[in-house]
Amino acid sequence: MRRFKRVVVILLSSVGIGEAADADKFSDQGSDTLGHVCDYWRGSLALPTLTKLGLGNIPRQSPLTGILATKPLISQVGRMQEISAGKDSLNGHWEMMGAPLKEQLDTFPNGFSSRLIHKIETFSNRKVILNRPAATLTAIKDFGQQQSEEGDLIVYTSSDSVLQVSSNEAVVPLEELYRICRYIRFVVDESHLEIGRVVARPFVGKTPSDFKLTDNRRDFAIVPKANTVLDFLAENHTPVSGIGMVNDLFSGRGIENRIQIHNKQSGFYKLLETMETQSIGLIFADLGNLDKYGHARDPQGYGIELMRIDSQLKEIIEKMTPTDLILITADHGNDPTFKGFDHTREFVPLIAASPNANGNQLGIRSTFSDLGKTILSNFEIGNQLPGKSFLNQIS
C-alpha cells in the first residue's frame, strides 16, 4: 500500500544552510546563505510558516538569528549534502532525482571559443559582445546600452557550466532570442561540448539605471545522462507535474504536465491550481526567484523575497490532505553576503511535512538523491538509483 498518494516537492532555489563538508574544494568556506541573511536582518526576518515547519530545528553549528526551534516539532527535518561535481542548478535538480553528475561539465573561465562565437553571430546576424564570466546584472548594466542601441547579443558565463545570452526585449523579440538559444544548444551538443545550460536572459529598460531582468528567462539544458526518478515515475504510469524551471532542467523528460510560469507570483498560483486538479503522483515546483538576489549579492532583497515565499507556503500547507507528503528543500546555496557572484557550496535544508506525521530528525543525508529515493520508495517503484530512502523515518 502506498504511504502517501501525493508527494509535493517545493524547491526554494539557492537557500543553502551552511558551508558543505567539501566547501573548500569550491573556495566557499564560510558561506551560509540562510544564516547570513538572518544575521543581516538582525532577527527581524519573519518566516512564521517555515519556523512552524521546523526550520530552526535543523541542526547547525549556530542557531539562525531570529528563527526559533519549534516545540513540539511537527515535521521531519534535516540537511542534505551534495555529491555532484558542480554546484549549479542543473547539478542540484538532477541529483535530487537520482542522477548526480560525478564529473564536472565544461566551464569557460576565459570565455567561449572564437569558432563558437562566429557560429552564433552568423546564425543570428548579430554581433556578440562581452564573452567572459560576469554576473547577469553587471552584464546588462555595463553592456545593455550598447546591446540596445546596436542590436548585439550579450554572451557571458560564470563559474558554472552555462552560456547565457542577454538582450533587450524591445530590440530582440523573445521568440528570436529563444530561437538563437535553441540553435546554440544544438551546436554545442553536436560539437560534444558539455555545457549544462544555455540560458536566455532578456531584460527591459532604456538606460542602465532602469535596466531590469524580466520573468521570461528560459533554460535550454543538456539532456540527463541517465534515467531519473521522473523517468521511473513515467514508466510506472505515475502522474508527474513540473512547475517552473524544473521542466527546462530535465528537458521535459519524464514530466507529463509541464507548467511554465511567467512571473514570481504565478508559480505559487500554478502550484495551488495543480494541487486542486492532481490528487496523486508527484508535483515538483521551483518556487520564487531567490537565486537572482544571491547573484546580485543583495541580502535585503533576498530576505524580502524569502518572506514573500513564506507567506505563500502557509496557503500551500493549508491545502495538504492527510495522504500528502510535502518535501521542502533547495538545489544549492547562493550566499548574498559572500565574495564574487556565483553559487556557494552548502548543505541544503530538508523539511518533510504531512498532517499525519510526527516530528523527527532526519539527520545529515549524504546525497540529495535521498529525496528521489524516498519518492520512488513511497510509490513502491523498484530501482537501482543512488541514495537512501528516509520514508520509514516519517512516522
Share of the chain above pLDDT 90, in %: 94
> What is the average per-residue pLDDT within 155-175?
97
The verdict on 252 and 389 lying in the same domain is yes
The domain that holds 352 is classified in CATH as 3.40.720.10
> What is the average per-residue pLDDT within 4-32?
97
The predicted pLDDT at position 232 comes to 98
Residue 43 lies in a domain: yes
- Helix/strand/coil for 294: helix
The verdict on 270 and 194 lying in the same domain is no
The predicted pLDDT at position 262 comes to 73
Quote the CA–CA distance of 14 and 310 in Å, as a whole number.
15
The predicted pLDDT at position 116 comes to 98
The number of folded domains in the chain is 2
Quick check: 337 pLDDT over 70? yes
Quote the CA–CA distance of 115 and 100 in Å, as a whole number.
31
The predicted pLDDT at position 264 comes to 63
Asked whether 15 and 346 are in contact (CB, 8 A), the reply is no
The verdict on 236 and 201 lying in the same domain is no
The verdict on 65 and 200 lying in the same domain is no
Q: Per the structure block, which three cell numbers stand in for 375?
A: 519518492
Quick check: 359 pLDDT over 90? yes
Quick check: 265 pLDDT over 80? no
Phi-psi region of 24 (alpha: psi -120 to 50; beta: other; left: phi over 0): alpha
Share of the chain above pLDDT 70, in %: 99
Range of the domain at 187: 114-218
The backbone torsions φ and ψ at residue 68, rounded to the nearest 5 degrees and listed phi first, read -85, 150
The verdict on 332 and 317 lying in the same domain is yes
Quote the CA–CA distance of 153 and 131 in Å, as a whole number.
10
Quick check: 247 pLDDT over 80? yes
Quick check: 2 pLDDT over 80? no
Quote the CA–CA distance of 201 and 217 in Å, as a whole number.
5
Quote the CA–CA distance of 324 and 6 in Å, as a whole number.
5
The verdict on 235 and 375 lying in the same domain is yes
| pLDDT-derived band at 358, boundaries 50, 70, 90 | confident
230-236 — which CB contacts under 8 Å span 24+ positions?
230/97, 230/254, 230/255, 230/282, 230/284, 232/376, 232/381, 232/383, 232/385, 233/281, 233/282, 233/375, 233/376, 233/379, 233/381, 236/379, 236/381
Tens of pLDDT, residues 200-225: 999 999 999 999 999 899 999 999 98
233-269 exposure pattern, b = at least 16 Cβ within 10 A, e = fewer: bbeeebbbbbbbbbbbbbeeebbbeebebeebebbbe
Tens of pLDDT, residues 26-40: 999 999 999 999 999
The verdict on 278 and 165 lying in the same domain is no
Question: Which residue, of 218, 234, 261, is where some domain finishes?
Answer: 218
Tens of pLDDT, residues 276-286: 999 999 999 99
Report how far Cα 379 is from the mean position of its chain's Cα atoms: 24
- Higher model confidence: residue 288 or residue 42? 42
Pairing of strands 360-365, 76-80: parallel
Question: Which residue, of 193, 218, 243, is where some domain finishes?
Answer: 218
Question: Which residue, of 165, 188, 218, is where some domain finishes?
Answer: 218
Tens of pLDDT, residues 52-111: 999 999 999 999 999 999 999 999 999 999 999 999 999 999 999 999 999 999 999 999
- Higher model confidence: residue 199 or residue 267? 199
146-164 exposure pattern, b = at least 16 Cβ within 10 A, e = fewer: ebbeeebbbbbbbbbbbbb
Quick check: 1 pLDDT over 50? no
Quick check: 132 pLDDT over 50? yes
The backbone torsions φ and ψ at residue 153, rounded to the nearest 5 degrees and listed phi first, read -115, 125
- Helix/strand/coil for 156: strand
> What is the average per-residue pLDDT within 304-325?
95
Q: Per the structure block, which three cell numbers stand in for 62?
A: 549556530
Please give the mean pLDDT across all residues of the chain.
96
Quick check: 263 pLDDT over 50? yes
Residue 49 lies in a domain: yes
Q: Per the structure block, which three cell numbers stand in for 196?
A: 549544462
Asked whether 288 and 301 are in contact (CB, 8 A), the reply is no
Asked whether 88 and 162 are in contact (CB, 8 A), the reply is yes
The predicted pLDDT at position 213 comes to 94
HSE-CB of 70 using CA atoms within 13 angstroms: 21
CA neighbor of 8 nearest in space, from 210, 340, 287, 336 = 287
